[in-house]
Chains A and B, each alone.
Chain A
Amino acid sequence: MIDFGGWDMPVQYASLLEEHHAVRQRVGLFDVSHMGEIEVRGKEALRLVNYVTTNDASRLRIGQAQYSGLLYEHGGFVDDILVHKVADDDYFLCVNASNQDKDYQHILTYNRFDATVENAGGRYAQLAVQGPLALDTLQKLTPVPLEPLRYYHFVDGAVSGAPARIARTGYTGEDGFEIYLPPADAARIWDEILTAGAEFGIKPCGLGARNTLRLEAAMALYDHEIHASITPWEAGLGWIVKMDKGEFVGRQALAFQKDRGIMRKLVGFEMAGRGIGRDGYEVCIKGMGAGWVTSGGPSPTQNKNIGLCYLPCANAETGRSIQIMVRGQAVDAVTVPTPFYKRTK
């Protein structure tokens, strides 16, 4: 067990590799109750949500979810979040565990609207069922028809008799569901999901597999790919920024940077030499320091060593030879397109 922002979390239950493969080939279950939840309600809930986030929440329909960013005025990330539209006056935000209090204070700071903001993390546990057989597993426990539920949509229903918000979202690059439910029911439903998935070879999965899975899918992890000094343009997350939606926190800085152009960008790499480029390692080009690794490790699906790094835009094209400083030794790598893994639908 490791201390993860005050939560005791297992890095692996049995074997990280087996857990990883279970999610890619069958189904895995994650306890992600550490994730935070913030509820924004009231007549002007949408105006507040749209003012503090980068994506356009006005485009959401009830029952739809959206990946978005919370930015500082200077354009750096406070957090990356999921915005769920529950009703016209009710938005449910899923935020990163270690950022929950910071996000809550940040949103409050900008609440000049007729809206209430509640830090609701204590009222929700979260379980993620992920993998090609996630639907078959979860369907055994809920009357809600899951097949028609589209990606990035959610529905309020019941799982094993407990009230649950079931969202077709995830952080693994596979099909799957994230379930928000009362903490008092979480342990029982955890067991029931494992029982329901037993015939499919379900595995309980820890933080380790969560990280290798999201890295293969090239999904950002806060404090690695994104943080207060990184903008969405640099992180390759321009698609969650809607500049034409009206004023929002960070918009001016983003407009300025867009006009001037970015200096660095996030790119994928594959190790060519023997070694693994890990988080924080220096990246060199022709012997000169050029950038840093944000996340790196083995890709169990592809059996390669992969990673993400920031490089100057002038040196960021696919196929460029780079070197990663692995414990004092320069190890060859090459830039590659991302994601490293994409599921076949």
Chain B
Amino acid sequence: MDPENLRYTKEHEWVRVEGDTGTIGITFHAQKELGDIVYVDLPKPGTLLQQNKTIGSVESVKAVSDIFTPVSGEVVEVNATLAESPEILNKDPYGSGWLVKIKLSEPGEAGKLLTAAEYQAFVGTESS
């Protein structure tokens, strides 16, 4: 269920690299654990992000959770739909529920992240 063409982190984020742009989001597992999402706080375009640092938060009815960026770079686009309809993060975490697009400053980073198979194995051990 986790797409093969993405890379993943143990903090339950994903990144899709196309050219020098990385699109990031949270995983199906993350949205399921959080439950009904009510707020998403994201950085503004132009913000410089450093890998593994907190860039915002996702808040559900029951809890708030930090978002960590899997890759470094500059925010070039923010998913504005999430401000009005945060629930799309629950419905489509790998599609319309993407968070931000980043112009990668360290293109090598993504290749070192978890593959879909490695991430699934990690989620399996974490939840058992």
Residues of A within 8 A of B (CB): 11-12, 15-17, 208, 211-212, 274-276, 278, 297-298, 300, 327
Contact = CB atoms under 8 A, between A and B. Distances in A.
B62 interface: yes
Nearest to B57: A327
Interface of B: 35-36, 38-39, 57, 59-62, 64
A274 B41 CA distance: 10
B61 A208 contact: yes
Contacts of B35: 11-12, 15-16, 208
A16 B61 contact: yes
A12 B60 CA distance: 12
A278 B62 CA distance: 9
Nearest to B33: A11
Contacts of A275: 39
B64 to A, nearest CB: 7
Contacts of A278: 64
A208 B62 contact: yes
25 contacts: A11-B35, A11-B62, A12-B35, A12-B62, A15-B35, A15-B36, A16-B35, A16-B36, A16-B62, A17-B61, A208-B35, A208-B62, A211-B62, A212-B61, A212-B62, A274-B39, A275-B39, A276-B59, A276-B64, A278-B64, A297-B61, A297-B62, A298-B38, A298-B61, A327-B64
Given A208-B61, A208-B62, A300-B61, 8 more contacts: A12-B35, A12-B62, A275-B39, A276-B38, A276-B64, A297-B61, A298-B38, A327-B57
A275 B38 CA distance: 10
A97 to B, nearest CB: 18
Nearest to B63: A278
A212 B35 CA distance: 13
Contacts of A12: 35, 62
Contacts of A274: 39
Contacts of A15: 35-36
A298 B64 CA distance: 12
B62 A276 contact: no
Contacts of B36: 15-17
3 tightest A-B contacts by CB? A17-B36, A208-B62, A16-B35
Nearest to A15: B36
A208 B38 CA distance: 14
A212 B64 CA distance: 15
Contacts of A276: 38-39, 59, 64
Contacts of A327: 57, 64
Contacts of A11: 35, 62
Contacts of B64: 276, 278, 327
A12 B57 CA distance: 21
